[in-house]
Amino acid sequence: MTDSIAALTARIRAGQARVGTVGLGYVGLPLSVEFASAGLPVVGFDLSPEKVAAINRGTSYIKDISDDRVAACVTAGRLRASTDMSGLSDCDALIICVPTPLSKTKDPDLSMVVEAAKAIATRLREGQLVVLESTTYPGTTEELILPLLAERGFEVGRQFFLAFSPERVDPGNPRFNTRNTPKIIGGVTPACTAVAQALYSRAIESVIPVSSTQTAEMVKLLENTFRSVNIGLVNEVALMCDRLKVDVWEVIEAAATKPFGFMPFFPGPGLGGHCIPIDPLYLSWKLKTLNYRARFIELAGEINSEMPEHVCALVADALNDQRKSVKGSRVLVLGVTYKKDIDDVRESPALDILNLLEARGAEVSYSDPHVSELALNGRTLRSVDALEGARTSDAVVIVTDHSRVPYREIVAAALVVVDTRNATRGLDSTKVVKL
């Protein structure tokens, strides 16, 4: 064991290793709080003065992390935030948690990862651990991050350590959080894996090492590609059932009684969030560079991306049955976040549905207990009362099935309801058109 490995491992085990998280979003802040709660001193780095100020005064902007948890860590002196990247050199471990969106051409945009890696590289010192958590394609850690860090002349696995650990955040999940969700770790060398495992074991209940960074990178993409493909399959089954005049929800419920060989997935208005709509495209992009076409990924993406159009067609048919056209009709969208009981609208299919309905001439409004206002086509929409909106609209579309919405009263008040989530199960079916 080299002196660097021994010294860093000893500091981690003694609870003295200083952790720096680069990026304080929905991955970085929860991770920072867990490390601080486990007794390690944590500095969060972010370019947003608003986020930094919020953390330093002990408040949270992430729904799953309470103000009390942040305040407790700050008061104990174990958590602070900064926009000053010069402090990176003071940290023993640095974890990159910045966004990795797609470009307009659907190619991976790793610009924020590169900038974070460059900021670390210019300040890298012997004995530091660097971990990439941002979702990316297999090979990124060693092909992109390692060369930047190696410019300082240090040897990876001996003088500094580099690993990949995929984030597995599920916003709004009441059962699984950062601490009790198993953590995958893959290092560039066995020593890198061992050091990273020692660090995460301080704050995470279960840490699972794998053989390489590429394996760890592929794990995250498999997880979300699995979900994307299966959602694409069940969305296509929903389209089939629509033509066959069969209730797809009843079909799935019955199939789910089989105790083996079947896992229920459910149709919906389209994919949302940062991970499921985007991660499979990272894998598909990488494989194109290897002259391989990811056919399942592409087909699932095609089906899922067409679901907002299908929802709008259902709205048009429902209005037509009421002797009304989409143009000029008042349509209320219930729920604009990408999943229930959260406040995140990233990549939400509700945004596409609002735009598509408005393009067809509808007068759109929305109601969401978690989103008070929303930007749409250069203007700001504000959430309306769900029940009052249902009374004054020609059609209601349930896009996100939040728990706090009074669906029974809405069905009673509405002229027609298009339900994409089976939220109206057991209610007046004469008013409801289901996906």
Query: Which positions are catalytic?
Result: 275
- 199: amino acid identity, one letter: L
Q: What residues pair up with 19 in beta bridges, in sequence order?
A: 42, 93
**Helical pair 307-321 and 349-359, crossing angle rounded to 10 deg:** 50
Q: What DSSP state is assigned to residue 102? A: B
Report CA-CA distances (Å) from 85 to 278, 287, 364. Answer: 29, 35, 44
Backbone φ, ψ for residue 311 (5° rounding): -60, -45
Give the amino acid at 262.
Answer: F
- In angstroms, the first-to-last Cα distance of the chain is 60
The H or E element containing residue 52 is helix 49-56
Spatial distance between the Cα atoms of 299 and 309, rounded to a whole number of angstroms: 16
- Name the token pair of 15: 């609870």
Q: Within a 10 A sphere around the Cβ of 377, how many other Cβ atoms?
A: 10
Collapsing DSSP to helix, strand or coil, 109 comes out as coil
CA distances from 193 to 5, 208, 215, 351 (A): 11, 10, 12, 41
Q: Please, what sign has the CA dihedral across residues 418, 421, 422, 424?
A: negative
